[in-house]
Amino acid sequence: MGDTGPGGFSCAHPASATAPLDLTPTRPEHVLLVVEVVSPGSGTTDRIVKTDQYAKAGIPFYWRVEQSAGGLPIAC
């Protein structure tokens, strides 16, 4: 979804592997789930700031994908 935040999400809706991505901004009330992949430089923002922003925007589900200490991906 990118870093546009709750005010104007960019959603990818690939119709097929060869079709161009639709990055049309979407209103927060139309979003049911946000999935963030946490990188070393975005951890604090993804864990604290975005969690609060998405909750205030009324988005019911927010998942984070992080790398565990053992290197395996985990979903939070």
Concatenated DSSP letters of 18-57: SSPP---EE-GGG--EEEEE--TTTHHIIIIIHHHHHHHT
Residue 52: predicted pLDDT: 92
The model's pTM:
0.60
Residue pointed to by tokens 């959603």: 11
Q: What is the residue whose two structure tokens read 């060869």?
A: 18
Mean of the per-residue pLDDT values for the chain? 77
pLDDT in tens, 17-41: 567 777 788 888 889 999 988 888 8
Q: How far apart are the first and last CA of the chain?
A: 17
